[in-house]
Amino acid sequence: MALGDLGQWLGGGTPSKSRSEFWCNGTIPWISPKDMKANRIIDTEDHITPAALGSSPTTMLEAGSVVVVVRSGILRHSLPVAVTRVDATLNQDLKGLRPSPAFVPDYVAYALRRYEDILLQTCSKTGTTVQSVEFPEFLRFQIPVAPLSEQQRIVAAIEEQFTRLDAAVAGLKRTRANLKRYRAAVLAAACSGRLVPTEAELAAREGRGYEPADQLLERILRERQERWEADQLAKMQALGKVATSETWKRKYKQPLRPDHEILPNETLPDGWTWATLGQLAWSVKDGPHYSPKYVEDGIPFISGGNVRPSGVDFKSAKRISPQLHEELSKRCKPELGDMLYTKGGTTGIARVNTYSHEFNVWVHVAVLKLVQSIEPFYLQHTLNAPASHAQAQRYTHGVGNQDLGLTRMVNIVFALPPLSEQVRIVDEVDRRLSVIAELETSLHHALARAERLRQSVLQRAFEGKLVPQDPTDEPAEVLLERIKQERATQPTNGSWGRLRKARGMKPLFELQEVGEQS
């Protein structure tokens, strides 16, 4: 049967926002797409007053109506459907169905969810700025209709199956959230000396000496200056210049040491010390501060959203020409072993560059060239740990386009262990994170299976295979024909109310002719 034949379809509207008497202390639920995240509407974020009803195009729907989003960006992949459990009004991006007494509202809603993909494919309006439904085509869409009693049995069976699925999915999501917390706990423990035996403990146990982190840091600072000087000499040679004195070395800027007044209030393990990000990187650059011209096929151009702790997403990255890449590389060229650190959008995500192929970065990604006397993956883990991430958020400034500036980024403070301990920490973190990743993959597959089971339940329901059929049920076509005849002879609210009451359903309204629009 066509959707347009199921009852009366109504549109909605928005009362004037400039008139406070329509909204102030409103008590009537007003449904908009943001309320359509639940299968049943029992309340809404916004409410209007009775004065708005008679002075605006919004429509009142009685409890037991079916509501569908017909205009929203979400229609690119989903068709939100809900059933009202309270009297409510609609905005203009929704359509509401007051179903005929021959249809159980939840049966209609489940049918729309069952055929969601087909509806989106066949009824989507093209060439519009916002995704929308071609409503006349939507009304012509056919769904299978069961006898009224069987509709009620189908709804009960679907909800029984879905209740079990919902419980299983909730458990899977709790486990996924716990894994996320466990990952953060692993990184926090790793970067505070609580994950593996410290180098000081091992040295004492084995009766040997070791290089503590404060000595390592002094060696790092010497190396940092040497790397900077070597880079400056290479640039002068590339320009054909010869250094006749060492005055150019005066341009070297010593990195800021940790500010002891703002250090975290915690005691470091023996052999550890505090360090700043700027002390470990001899060069910190970001990409161009403008949107370059993109090409169909070229060099990957990485934005902040492409950088994740697990790796860089080159597949979804945009592309720039080789000529532009060469030009941009004069300022900032990512190389093997560099640290990529997001500074715009989602700030504070670090990833060591393990890729040998060419790519470039936008302004939202910083490229840090590290000294050799550091385990880069230890730095990656500590920058992704909760303490460093919290600092990155505090240093992120701006209105609208927020950014973690380079000069603020280098002040991030973290705990630095001896080098050999860094290596052991990385091995243990990688082992635990790999287990977490495997569990997350299993959870992802389990959630996907649950969704497939949900669709399978709906498919079986509307193929007549979910519940047994009762030969004594009044056929749907007989009920529809009788309703049509009764409506023609007694078109009053009372008759429709008595008919719905006889069917065990809540009284609603006087039906209009099929397809009539309000």
The radius of gyration computed from the CA coordinates of the chain, to the nearest angstrom, equals 32
pLDDT, position 401: 79
376-384 helix and 419-461 helix, angle to the nearest 10 degrees:
50
Q: Is 416 helix (H, G, I), strand (E, B) or coil?
A: strand
Q: Is 503's pLDDT higher than 70? A: no
pLDDT given for residue 427 in this prediction: 98
The answer to whether 22 and 66 have CB atoms below 8 angstroms apart is no
pLDDT value of position 128:
66
Q: For the ranges 165-169, 276-280, 344-348, 491-495, which has the lowest average pLDDT?
A: 491-495
Residues 67/84, Cβ–Cβ less than 8 Å: yes
* Cα–Cα distance measured from residue 131 to residue 112, given in angstroms and rounded to the nearest whole number: 18
Nearest to 343 by CA among 410, 259, 276: 410
Give the per-residue pLDDT at 370.
97
Predicted local distance difference test score (pLDDT) of residue 489: 64
pTM of the model: 0.79
> What b/e readout covers 226-237, taking b as 16+ CB neighbours within 10 angstroms?
ebbbeeeeeeee
- pLDDT tens digits, 232-254: 999 999 889 988 888 999 999 99
Task: Give the three-class secondary structure for 418.
Answer: coil
Q: Which residues pair with 396 in a beta bridge?
A: 404
Residues in the chain: 518
pLDDT tens for each residue of 360-410: 999 999 999 999 999 999 999 999 999 999 999 999 988 777 899 999 999
pLDDT value at residue 487: 63
Taking alpha carbons only, the member of 314, 366, 364, 362 closest to residue 339 is 366
Position 129 pLDDT exceeds 90 = no
Evaluate whether 67 touches 95 at the Cβ level (below 8 Å): yes
pLDDT (tens digit per residue) in 257-289: 998 777 777 889 999 999 999 999 999 999 999
- 331-363 as b/e: b if 16+ CB within 10 A: ebbbeeebbbbbbbbebbbbbbbebeeebbbbb
Query: Hey, where are the domains in the chain?
Result: 3-146+488-502, 211-417
- To the nearest whole percent, how much of the chain has pLDDT over 70? 93
Region 281-300 average pLDDT: 95
8 pLDDT above the threshold of 50: yes
CATH number at 211-417? 3.90.220.20
Task: State how far the alpha carbon of 500 is from the alpha carbons of 28, 157, 506, in Å.
Answer: 24, 22, 6
Q: Rounded to the nearest 5°, which phi and psi values hold at 366?
A: -95, 145
Kindly state the average pLDDT of the residues 137-142.
Answer: 95
- Confidence band (pLDDT; 50, 70, 90) for 57? confident
Kindly report the backbone phi and psi dihedral angles of residue 45, in degrees, each rounded to the nearest multiple of 5, phi listed first: -70, -40
Q: What is the C-alpha to C-alpha distance for residues 478 and 61, in angstroms, rounded to an integer?
A: 27
Q: Please indicate whether the domains covering 3-146+488-502 and 211-417 agree at the CATH topology level.
A: yes
Number of H helices, E strands in the chain: 15, 24
Residue 74, SS3 per DSSP? helix
pLDDT higher than 80, residue 517: no
**pLDDT for 105:** 96
Instruction: Report the Cα 492 to chain-centroid distance in Å.
Output: 50
At 446-497, the pLDDT tens digits run 999 999 999 999 999 999 999 998 888 888 778 777 777 766 665 444 433 4
Torsion angle defined by CA atoms of residues 57, 62, 64 and 69, in that order, rounded to the nearest 10 degrees:
10
Residue 513 pLDDT class (50, 70, 90 cuts): very low
Write the DSSP string, 346-394. S---EEE----S--EE-TTEEEEEEPSSS-HHHHHHHHHSHHHHHHHHH
For the segment 304-337, what is each residue's pLDDT rounded down to a tens digit?
999 999 999 999 999 999 999 999 999 999 999 9
The DSSP secondary-structure symbol of 491 reads -
- What digits encode the pLDDT tens for the residues 205-225? 999 999 999 999 999 999 999
Report which of 9, 58, 8, 1 is spatially closest to residue 491, judged by C-alpha positions: 8
pLDDT for res 242: 87
- Tell me the fold of 3-146+488-502: Adenine-n6-DNA-methyltransferase TaqI; Chain A, domain 2 (3.90.220)
Give the rounded distance of the alpha carbon of 284 from its chain centre.
Answer: 30
Query: Which amino acid appears at position 79 of this protein?
Result: L
Residue 118 tokens, joined: 């087909």
Terminal C-alpha separation, the chain: 21
